[in-house]
Structure 1
């Protein structure tokens, strides 16, 4: 797939909020679904740089956000029907200076598919912690 990676238009933010809500409810099955709300997206992405991945036909497959002051990938979410088709990898490649820049993220340990994706993408576990959604691995991509 030839993914188009770009900044979202203001009118597309609702679509990204839909993806954020749906993927969290589908994936984080150990968390009460009512804890996730549509408006979370707008609160959780304030001040972050954002990219979306779309098909050449314009269908949005997913998005990624970066908290630039700490080179911290805060979110990378891909709709279920597009998972495993390269959208996540394309989003990572869009990061400034990838793969020559060090990046960090947190990945919930129970999210085994995402954890496997990050490990396959070159991230390594550099610590652990606990959040409201459960235990997580702190993961770091060390620049080449």
Structure 2
């Protein structure tokens, strides 16, 4: 199933379980290293997943009982903290399906921050109907605060 297109009916979106954690930690670490190659990636660790998603609601895209993507949401603020899809499965609507599933568990508006130099993610969020609300700076660099006020496109 290397780079073949997945059929959406093969993908299950479910709530994260403890048994998913080893896969999620690896996915998070690997995709952060790819996404933030301009940063000191030697500082990224497997345990970052647990720290950065603590208390968040996590949905996973599963194929054959293996997580291939996830979204984590801080529910009190309807804030999407993380959305990652394994690079081998990007461009197959998995991120869109994760967003749709997250919307069913939250209220509008949904917000998220995206690092300015992550052009692939920015393009994705704009295409899905998010709009820029403001800009700011964080330890990860300059970011754009996006907001979604109705269903994903």
Are positions 1:132 and 2:127 aligned together? no
What is residue 89 of structure 1 aligned with on the other side?
96
Aligned partners of 2:56 and 2:72 also within 8 Å: yes
What is residue 39 of structure 2 aligned with on the other side?
31
Are positions 1:78 and 2:82 aligned together? no
* TM-score, length basis structure 1: 0.93
Which blocks of at least 5 consecutive residues in structure 1 are unaligned?
Answer: none
Q: Distance in 1 between matches of 2:34 and 2:103?
A: 30
Deviation of residue 100 (structure 1)? 7.0
SS in 2 for 1:46: coil
Aligned partners of 2:71 and 2:102 also within 8 Å: no
Aligned length: 143
Aligned partners of 1:99 and 1:143 also within 8 Å: no
Are positions 1:68 and 2:71 aligned together? no
* TM-score, length basis structure 2: 0.88
- Note closer, same or farther for the CA distance 1:25–1:96 as it changes in structure 2 (3 Å cut): same
Aligned partners of 1:7 and 1:50 also within 8 Å: yes
Which blocks of at least 5 consecutive residues in structure 2 are unaligned?
Answer: 1-6
Q: Distance in 2 between matches of 1:113 and 1:129?
A: 19
Please identify runs of 4+ aligned residues in structure 1 that moved more than 6 A: none
Aligned partners of 1:92 and 1:98 also within 8 Å: no
After superposition, the CA RMSD in angstroms is 1.6
What is residue 142 of structure 1 aligned with on the other side?
149
What is residue 50 of structure 1 aligned with on the other side?
58
